[in-house]
Structure 1
Amino acid sequence: MGKFKLLFFIFLLSQLLFSQNTEIKYEMTYISDTIQKESISKIMSLYITPSKKIFIDSEKLSQKDNEEISLDYDYTTIRQENKLTKFYLIDSELFSTEEKIPSFDWKISNETKMIDNIKCQLATLNYKGRIWNAWFTPKYSFFSGPYIFDNLPGLIIEISDSKNHYNFKLIEINQKKYNIIIPKSLTVDSNSLKKLYLNYFENPFRKLKEKGILYSIDENGNKVSPPNFDLMVKSRQQYIFNNNNPIELSDAVKYNYR
């Protein structure tokens, strides 16, 4: 994405920034379907306030109160005090889990390299089924990084897993203040979350079936036969099975699909 657009003066990179609201943008590239291996890119923001860190789709930072709120909160996290909150969209309903912020066991190497004229140091992490390689710099006073990554003595500039299924690269740092809107979610534990995923997999069109649709009307006003739910279910299950490559790999739901 080119050189970092460092939109603040050097003196603001001191401890003073911890009393400000700062947005750190990352380009996130990932592969959800390990068969097709087509990469998806989106811009995510790490929004740091004096009391919390929010990792969220950058488009949602400029969302207004009166705008329709999208429930797509994939990879959104909130780190506050010692609590980590994650969000999941299942069958058009937003759920969340709460856990203690992980104590990452980083292995810091002496290896360094330059990334856009910034000297970075390598650190590796074995976490939930993936080996992560992070390039960080102590140049900035943020001991943080994208998603849930923390506890390095500096800011993470780039981080990717060893299979290159997930990659984050810092592209911009801004000093801004946002009113972030996150809809209410139902908090569940990890076991309940897996059950929700499994139930949705078994019957992904339950809500549509419950409406008892006899026919629909096309754009020309003609009656159209109801959908073939058996084919729809099979297609949806195939999609879910193929795209079962979560960032925390060991938490992948084990679907029974044949």
Structure 2
Amino acid sequence: MKNKILFFMLLGVLTSAQVNRFFYEYKFILDSHNKEDVKKEMMLLDIDKNGSSYYSHDKFVADSIGKAELEKQLKAGGGSISVNRREKPGQVSYKVTKQYPDFKTYLFRNISMDKYKIREDKKPEWKIQPDKQKIGDYNTQKATTSFGGREWTAWFAADIPFQDGPYKFYGLPGLIVKIEDATGSHSMTLIGNKTLKTADSEKDPQLPDNVKLLGLFGKEIEVTKDQFKKAWKIYVNDPTKNMRELMMKNGGDSNTKFAFKVKTSDGKEISDPNQAFREMEKRTKESLQKDNNPIEPDLVN
């Protein structure tokens, strides 16, 4: 009975301005050499009649607080703007959107200061299996696919009339309730849902013409997957290249000022640009060595 009630509620979403928000628990292993360290993140899948958006709950909250603080500073005026790192910025920084009815899919993610909008050129090709399983309150059926450099097993609920799911996955005759890769490194499980009257606003604050915040807000660079892979390789080889080039480019502009500080692991503050860049490069390369098990290996390898 519970599934039938949910079915009729979701049908109503497609003919109204409402948004149905699905909550997924995402478990993932960043370092393939340390499989005991399993991370968790609450992910949101917002669906309305025009499409869907999949993103981190913690990152959304942190970004919302940051935008509110920035707007407050802009209204107050003053000679400087301070943007502080949030205590819980979210472990998953990317976002995926799909546009109905053709499911045009985009991945949004950053490389250093640059924001990219990456067009997906492949759709998941599913093999529906006869196996069935009850996951929570949902009666599901098994399907498998090879996508992004991994083998995936999904369980979808035909009683939930959306051919959508977490990340870039879609195309099954019902919402994907759970999906996991063959290595057990990445797993997304539906744990609940609620209906919203409207989607949360993602409008960015309007900055003055003479104010630029590196890596925050602004327009994304739309690229193909191959173009993104090239940019990623450049970043891995030289993590601070973009920031150095930007400082050199604006070095002769008296109206442009750069001020940033970096703290070492022992809390020592570095303000000298050259030392700061060396520390940033060291820290980034150490982080990349541990973050060696991405959800979509084909995109960065």
TM-score (norm 2): 0.68
Aligned to 2:238: 203
Equivalent residue number for residue 68 of structure 2: 66
**Cα distance 1:79–1:31, how it changes in 2: closer, same or farther (>3 A)?**
same
The letter for the 2-side match of 1:168 is M
1:198-250 superposed Cα distances (whole Å, 9 cap, x missing partner): 2222222342695899xx799xxx99685375565345323213313221222
Cα displacement (A) at 1:129: 1.7
Which residue is 2:117 aligned to? 96
Q: More deviation in 8-17 or 119-128?
A: 8-17
The amino acid that maps onto 1:194 is K
- Distance in 1 (CA, whole Å) between partners of 2:262 and 2:300 is 39
Unaligned ranges ≥5, structure 2: 71-82, 204-216, 252-257
1:137-194 Cα offsets, whole Å, 9 max, x none, are 1111222111111111111111100101110010111111223417421212223322
- Distance apart, 1:16 and its partner CA: 2.1
The Cα offsets for residues 120-148 of structure 1, whole Å up to 9 and x where unpaired, read as 11111111221111111111122211111
Q: Distance in 2 between matches of 1:240 and 1:175?
A: 38
1:41 maps to: 40
State how 1:178-217 maps to structure 2 within 5 Å: 178-181=199-202, 183=217, 184-206=219-241, 207=243, 210=247
Match of 1:3 in 2: none
The answer for the alignment partner of 1:238 in structure 2 is: 286
| Cα distance in structure 2, aligned partners of 1:187 and 1:67 | 28
Supply the distance in 1 between the matched residues of 2:26 and 2:138 (Cα, whole angstroms).
Answer: 20
Structure 1 unmatched runs, 5+:
1-5, 254-258
* Equivalent position to 2:179, from 159, 183, 192: 159
CA contact (8 A) 2:24 2:191 kept: yes
**Alpha carbons of structure 1 residues 32 and 180: separation in structure 2 relative to 1, 3 Å:** farther
The residue that corresponds to 1:87 in the other structure is 108
Alpha-carbon RMSD across the aligned residues, in angstroms, is: 3.6
Q: Distance in 2 between matches of 1:54 and 1:208?
A: 34
Contact 1:27/1:42 (<8 A) preserved: yes
Partner residue in 1 for 2:148: 128
Larger helix percent: 2
CA, structure 1 residues 223+93, in 2 after alignment: closer, same or farther (shift >3 Å)? closer
- Are the structure 2 counterparts of residues 133 and 11 from structure 1 closer, same or farther at C-alpha, using a change threshold of 3 Å? closer
Q: How many residues in Structure 1 have an aligned counterpart in Structure 2?
A: 243
Aligned equivalents of 1:130 and 1:217: distance in 2?
A: 37
